[in-house]
Every structure is written in C-alpha cells, then in structure tokens.
Amino acid sequence: MFRVGIGFDIHRLEEGKKLIIGGVEIPFEKGWVAHSDGDIFFHALTDAILGALGKGDIGELFPDTKEENKNKSSDIFLKEAIKIMEKNGYEIENIDAYILLQKPKLLPYRQKIIQNTQKITGCSNIFLKGKTFEKLGDIGQGKAGACEVIVLLKKF
C-alpha cells in the first residue's frame, strides 16, 4: 500500500543569517529569516511525510509561537515525522524535491544534502533539483527561497 505526500515551504533571506538546506550549512552572504533554523527542505519534507499519513502538519506539531522551537535545528522536526511514520507502519520509497533559489548554486552541496537526508530518513532514493526563478519576483531577486517536495510512502 502506498501513500503520496506533498510539501512546500518558503522563507525570506536576509544578510547575516545562516543558509541551511537539508541540514547542510551553505556559505552565502544571506540566510533564512525564521523562528527555527529555516531549513526549507526539511520543513517541506516534514510536511510531505505528515501529509501522506494524514497526521497534521509541521505548524501543528511545532508551533512557531513556542519559545522552545526558537532557533531549533530542523532535523528534530523531520526525525519526529519519521517516528510518526514508522509508528504507523510506513517507510519512504522515494523523495523528489525542487529548491527554488536564485543564488547560490545548489549543485556543489547537493550530494551532501542527499547523504544527510538519507541518514535521517533511511531512504536511499532521494533527488534534489536546484532551480532559479529567472530573476522574477521575490525568489528571483534573492529575497526568498522556497522548496517543493513530493514523497512516496510504502507500508512495510
């Protein structure tokens, strides 16, 4: 039995903040404006897994109004979603994602992000594509970055 889930996240970019994607810190002049570490990939992936299970969303599980979630490393959110998934008898068959970011290029960091995500999720079929926004809108002007994820869960 299969279940499919979709996730999306967007955060503003500001100078002097950390740019973390998939738990990997990417050297860049700007980073995420967020309550947690702003990791758009892990946020969207967490939402996709929870959505596939019909078990709520990241905002319900980890409200950004709570002080305890401030500056929290987003692998904690993802690990919690994995725990819920396993408790419900599912594993991840594959993950596919878009990172929508004008700058910097994702390619040099892609393998590291995939490996890190494999470690947390136990999924060996992960793909990640970097895409610019052709200089259009806020993403295209480097004011924000977004991520779109689709995940397939399989009953074990």
Binding site for Mg ion (CB under 5 A): 9, 43
Nearer to Mg ion, 90 or 147 (CB): 147
Q: Which residue is nearest to Mg ion (CB)?
A: 43
- Kindly state the smallest distance separating residue 47's Cβ from Mg ion, in Å: 9
Which amino acid, one-letter code, is at 114?
A: I
Nearer to Mg ion, 47 or 90 (CB): 47
DSSP states of 38-87: --HHHHHHHHHHHHHHT---HHHHS-TT-GGGTT--THHHHHHHHHHHHH
Nearer to Mg ion, 45 or 153 (CB): 45
- Kindly state the smallest distance separating residue 132's Cβ from Mg ion, in Å: 20
Q: Kindly state the helix (H) or strand (E) to which residue 117 belongs, with its residue range.
A: helix 107-121
In eight-state DSSP terms, residue 7 is: E
- Kindly state the smallest distance separating residue 140's Cβ from Mg ion, in Å: 20
Residue 132: CB atoms within 10 A of its CB come to 15
Nearer to Mg ion, 3 or 43 (CB): 43
- Kindly state the smallest distance separating residue 24's Cβ from Mg ion, in Å: 16
